[in-house]
Chain A
Amino acid sequence: MAAVTEHLTHEHPAERLRTNRLGLWLFIASESFLFAALISARYYLLGTERSEHLNQALGFAISLVLLTSSLFAYRAETAARFGDQRGFRRATATTIALGLLFMVGVVLEWREGLAFFPPSTLYGSAFFTLVGFHAFHVFTGVVALALLLFVGRDGRFGPENHWPVEGVVKYWHFVDVAWVFIFPTLYLVK
């Protein structure tokens, strides 16, 4: 997959892997500034004030779903790295399912939230923007995982070719890390 870039830059595949990793980490660093901007906007406008109508239990439930999805993303990557095709496919599919479940949770939460704190309130502005941005990242992650599953159906990912899996999975974990900070920011602090 990365053969084109290796050809263009004349790198050894192992060196290419390290370059790819650095590039992805730089992207993640950049993205974390985006979430930092939105989280600081929430604290700047509202301090630690939050709506009384939040469904904290639902928020906790979808947090657990997302953390579980990270475990399966990890298993998918490990399986691919050791050439276990069946394990890779199963774990990737599970990760996708959990990602979709998370998004269903977000939709349920939004339906409730729209009634109590619509976007025209200050808390609603912060809540829907932050959750919306994060859910969009989850969505892109689900799309990327689905493409992995589709492309990898012929068993092309293995010990020698696991960067695409590794890259998508790292992105997925990053989305989880972002949620680790967004969840308390929106649901718990007071």
Chain B
Amino acid sequence: MAILKGIAGAVAGYALGFAVVAAAQLAMGNPVGGAVPVVIGSVFATVGWLLGVGLWRAWAREWFGLEPRLDVPTGPGRYFRFNTDHKVIGVQYLVTFVIVFGLAGLLAMVIRWELITPAADLGGDAYNQVMSLHGILMVAVAVAAVLGGLGNYCVPLMIGARDMAFPRLNALSYWLIPPVAVLLLTAPFVGGWDSGWTAYPPLSVVNAGGQVLFVVAIVIFGLSSILGGLNAIATILRMRAPGMTLMRMPIFVWSVLAASIISLLFTQFFAASLILVLLDRVAGTTFFEAAGGGNPLLYQHLFWFYSHPAVYVMILPGFGITLEVLTHFSRKPLFAYKGAVAGFLGIVVLSGIVWAHHMFTSGMAHFMNIPFMALTELISIPTGLVFLSALGTIWRGRLWLRTPMLFALAVLFNFAIGGVTGIYLADVATDIHLQDTYFVVAHFHYTIVGGEIFALMAGIYYWYPKITGRMYREGLGRLHAVWMFLAFQLVFLPLFVAGIHGMNRRINEYVEPLRGYNVFASVAAFVLGAVFLIALGNLVWSWARGRVAEANPWRATTLEWTTSSPPPPHNFEQTPEVVGDPYPYGEPGAVHVRPVTVPTIAGGSE
């Protein structure tokens, strides 16, 4: 019902926005049409959608002095409306982005199918659009699935809060996502866009009209990401339970804080760079038009000033999940907790001053090469701290090799490869050869898929009993972990070699000698893709029929495991009191939370 109202609002908003611009065009004696009414229509449609779907009822009424109406729905219907419960929003994010992940994964299969042969089977234009859509959808998954999904669900539970700091803003952040999806998926019908997810001008200023929808979609997505980051920071700084000092927070919470700082601040640069592209297209400005005195390199600077830090938005929460799982499943306190925190914060600081390592071959001034190379390689120091923490934790631990742990161990292996190969891309001398080859593709898939997505899987299995109240099938989970790990290596290891031999990224044809690597990688990719069918079957079936899980199936120490599975609407029957470090394994008498001794009457949480 709420969704129908949202759709009605979107249609009305689009019509209104389009009409206003068309009227203005008529008044000025210009021909009606072009990109401007579509842009304004899309923005109005997004506002209309939000108001219809619940923003008006729950929030905007207040701005006009009316009483807001906030109902707390129950049952499955609660997932399909403007709901302020962070647990509902977390599930909304997770399910949405699992679907997006599946869609983008299918596009990856199309890419690998095209690349089995050296010839162009699919056609260059179609391939470019498939590759671009795969890129941006996966970037969206990587940015939002862990932070928006698991971050939303787990952070308030882990710090003993009832909800996020701004529950309605949280709902708003989620409901901004559907317009993004609609815009991205309708773009192919107006010519699509073929610029890759990076959308470099001059191409992005002159190509088909789908690029305009891409720009609007990403600006909206950026807004969602900024508001989500804002909410997470405020929640972590302001909503912690009594006794939960910053240095007693579970490490995942620290990683969400660090990643949120980046998405709060740097996302504005992506929005700004795309808006400048839009202005060049529709308002006749000349930022990137060399003939008018502009400079396309400006785009790359603005874009990478966000988009390099963005990879830490992706990987930091992945590190957080990995450390979290490693410590619980090694039954040891997290090694060098402070070092890991320092590593996260060090990465945040350095992330803002390394962007130009993406531009060594772009033609920027040569004097910038060496400083950016050195700064980039400095990042291995805070990253090394995180690895130190991980390895020190499993060292002589009693490893409990359940599914989450298998994924977490895989992250260490994968990210080590992704990190080491990154050195060749940070070094100017080798990067000039490797730039825009499959070596880069393999490198960032090892860091983001091998790091973050494996960590996302670890997190999904780890918190699955908490979120659903049921247990997944352990055997199928382990099969997923082992299969995905092996197939992943088989896909991307050969691509490093293909890249060294000069296989270009983003191009659907290649020379005959590279065929062997590609056939191998494509077959392995289909095998990798198949495992997600098993995983999905396991997770969906178990949610409906799985064994009922107890409150703390892992016998873990952090706060989310002290409440029921799934937790009650306000998370805790009684405000928890934190008295010690988060991982007091093997320390006699030490506890993280003061045990609840006197059972209280429900609702007495004042």
Contacts and interface: CB of A to CB of B under 8 A. Distances in A.
Please tell me whether chains A and B touch each other in their complex, using a CB distance cut-off of 8 A.
yes
A37 B84 contact: no
Given A37-B268, A122-B294, A151 B284 contact: no
Given A8-B84, A9-B167, A19-B238, A122 B292 contact: yes
B302 A37 contact: yes
A120 B286 contact: yes
Interface string B298-315: 100110010000000000
Does more than half of chain A's interface fall in helix, strand or loop, or is it mixed? helix
A37 B579 CA distance: 44
A45 B276 CA distance: 13
A105 interface: no
A185 interface: no
B293 A121 contact: yes
Contacts of A23: 165-166, 169, 230-231, 234
Does more than half of chain B's interface fall in helix, strand or loop, or is it mixed? helix
Contacts of B302: 37, 40-41
B293 A122 contact: yes
Interface stretch (A27-35, A61-69, A174-182): A27-35
Contact of B64 (A26, A125, A147): A147
B265 interface: yes
Contacts of A44: 295, 298, 301
Contacts, number: 126
A26 B264 contact: yes
Interface residues of A, number: 39
A121 B226 CA distance: 32
A30 B167 contact: no
A129 interface: yes
A118 B284 CA distance: 9
Given A30-B230, A150-B64, A120 B285 contact: yes
B165 A37 contact: no
- Which of B238, B279, B305 counts the most A-chain CB atoms under 10 A from its CB? B238
A69 to B, nearest CB: 21
Interface in B139-179: 161-169
B121 interface: no
11 contacts: A10-B605, A15-B238, A23-B165, A30-B267, A37-B269, A37-B302, A41-B272, A128-B283, A128-B285, A129-B287, A151-B64
Given A23-B169, A147-B63, 4 more contacts: A1-B62, A19-B165, A33-B268, A41-B298
Interface of A: 1, 4-5, 8-10, 15, 18-19, 22-23, 26-27, 29-31, 33-34, 36-38, 40-41, 44-45, 118-122, 124-125, 128-129, 147, 150-151, 154, 156
